[in-house]
Structure 1
């Protein structure tokens, strides 16, 4: 079905995602999921549209690195830091729910999101202020991310909110024992940076994130654990938020989410997966983000090794992350994004099928 669609654009993704959530709501006999999703889609449309005016007023424009593809220079001076209008509505919604439920899990989720949001905000602000495409230094960013991640992990582990037995199915799990600490750290910091690295083409991160949040929310519902339903609601609200933002972020983008959005989105995915023991399926759902990150690691590692051995560094890809490799191969930006969305849909379907059948 997906392959027959000649152009899988924003409207196609919106229809597909909404249809999938409608079916999910029907199957679980609870249309609050669809309602929350549509509500936050509308909220995101409103906040992004009006936030765009604010960003232009304060001249918060994107800087493009000289090392990137030449066709990206036309993106210079596109309004950025749009992540503010994605994450703040989600933070407010989570806070309201937590006030009502008084949940330590939701409190930790808030701490994690807020921490990564602040890091991303200052990274974007410094970049704009210095008129360069670099804000915080990579080691500074990593230290701050590590502090937030370790606070989250140790409190969650002490309160027994993180399960060392990673659930694969109802009858099978992987006992990570003490290795749950590095695994949790890798999920939080690694996924946050993976989403950030993937945010290089118009609509790529926003579209893939909307799909992943739908998948994660549905996977949590399949667990049939009453106390976790709130996280499904949060995932569906975030799916709607991402699509509302995507309306203005798809090609040609009128606004970028910046590190403010991408770092926070990765943190939300990772935190929810850890608190709901959904790591196995999240690894499948976010496969594209992981591959994007691995392409950078492979590229840098291979270059350093070959430079040390032959004094002439070589590259595997034309440019990393992987989406830039395809750009330099001559594939149109819209086609790359479209195919990434399609692959992500297939990954979500795969993850849900495995969850049901294993």
Structure 2
């Protein structure tokens, strides 16, 4: 089984590395180029024109690897469904931006509707085809709490929240790709430890795809993943947590995305209620940029934090299962 995990990781990594130049060239010909927000950091203006929608590279590598290794696994198929569904929403958003040559693609409401539909379909499949347990495991314990029908509401909110949190994290070169690779590796270990051996291949393939993409996305980025990638990665991470029955553990393993999302919520709430900005800019990675940190330093520190949280999550699972 270890060989399958290594092969799944290696195949997606090699595909992403090999297809990178082709994807960059095609995105340029399609005029899929980044448009920086006027209210964004001034240092980011130089990034305007960089090819975006690079998430198609991640998804291609992921799908091929998953189809090569144990393509009939139901959990893996369901994870692919959620990942590709969110990728399609992001692809539509990025496509509109490219065709209209503007920073706005789908409206926030339109994106949410798409995310709601994907989450609802995922919950329906869980209930009808998997007869999925409606329990929540409490990290640090052996407790499994039965919450009945409310489980599906929890999963619904979790999917929408995670996809948006990863989308917010995708703001610096390599930040989302690197951190998602780290979290995916953590879920390889977690899936194996909990007995979801076949599903671990999906996690390994995602890690390889993210690392392959990172080769072209590290600073200075040759292409960005766009919403095609960030929404898809959020869907994938939510699927990893749900399908390994470690839903609450994602708060720890994906602690970086939680902090990024909370920084936006805190900033917006504070400004609307008190007229005061808590951070110089949100999400929080921009706050550190405007505080004088280089982009590379911010990304390196945030990767390190993500790695620490991933290790903590692994230790929690291993200590509970032994």
Query: What is the rounded CA distance, in whole Å, between the counterparts of 1:323 and 1:345 in structure 2?
Result: 16
Corresponding position: 1:324 with 2:312: no
User: Structure 1 residue aligned with 2:12, among 29, 32, 40?
Assistant: 40
Corresponding residue for residue 118 of structure 1: 88
User: Structure 2 residue aligned with 1:300, among 256, 268, 275?
Assistant: 268
Q: 1:38 to 1:126 in 2, by over 3 A?
A: same
| TM-score (norm: length of structure 2) | 0.94
| TM-score (norm: length of structure 1) | 0.85
User: Structure 1 residue aligned with 2:34, among 42, 62, 67?
Assistant: 62
Shift of 1:144: 1.0
Corresponding residue for residue 184 of structure 2: 213
Corresponding position: 1:239 with 2:211: no
Shift of 1:104: 3.9
Q: Determine if contact 1:216/1:282 at 8 Å carries over to the other structure.
A: no
- Secondary structure of the residue aligned to 2:2 is coil
Alignment map for 1:180-329 (pairs within 5 Å): 180-223=151-194, 225=195, 228-306=196-274, 313-329=275-291
Query: What is the rounded CA distance, in whole Å, between the counterparts of 2:292 and 2:95 in structure 1?
Result: 33
CA offsets per residue over residues 105-129 of structure 1, 9 Å max, x none?
A: 3443333222211110010011122
Shift of 1:166: 1.9
Q: Determine if contact 1:105/1:161 at 8 Å carries over to the other structure.
A: no
Corresponding residue for residue 351 of structure 1: 313
Corresponding residue for residue 132 of structure 1: 102
User: Structure 2 residue aligned with 1:336, among 289, 292, 298?
Assistant: 298
Q: Determine if contact 1:220/1:278 at 8 Å carries over to the other structure.
A: no
CA offsets per residue over residues 270-315 of structure 1, 9 Å max, x none?
A: 1232122121332211110111011111111111112xxxxxx211
Which blocks of at least 5 consecutive residues in structure 1 are unaligned?
1-28, 307-312
Query: What is the rounded CA distance, in whole Å, between the counterparts of 1:30 and 1:261 in structure 2?
Result: 27
Give the aligned length: 319
Structure of larger gyration radius: 1
- Secondary structure of the residue aligned to 1:182 is helix
Shift of 1:326: 0.7
Query: What is the rounded CA distance, in whole Å, between the counterparts of 1:279 and 1:333 in structure 2?
Result: 31
- Secondary structure of the residue aligned to 1:66 is coil
CA offsets per residue over residues 217-236 of structure 1, 9 Å max, x none?
A: 1101111x2xx212111111
CA offsets per residue over residues 85-144 of structure 1, 9 Å max, x none?
A: 11123224434556x52x443443333222211110010011122222221000110011
Query: What is the rounded CA distance, in whole Å, between the counterparts of 2:109 and 2:251 in structure 1?
Result: 25
Q: Determine if contact 1:120/1:260 at 8 Å carries over to the other structure.
A: yes
Quote the RMSD (CA, aligned, Å). Answer: 1.7
Q: Which moved more, 1:166-175 or 1:323-332?
A: 166-175
Q: Determine if contact 1:52/1:82 at 8 Å carries over to the other structure.
A: yes
Shift of 1:169: 6.3
Query: What is the rounded CA distance, in whole Å, between the counterparts of 1:343 and 1:175 in structure 2?
Result: 32
CA offsets per residue over residues 302-336 of structure 1, 9 Å max, x none?
A: 11112xxxxxx211111110001111111111000
Corresponding residue for residue 142 of structure 1: 112
- Secondary structure of the residue aligned to 1:174 is strand
Q: Determine if contact 1:166/1:280 at 8 Å carries over to the other structure.
A: yes
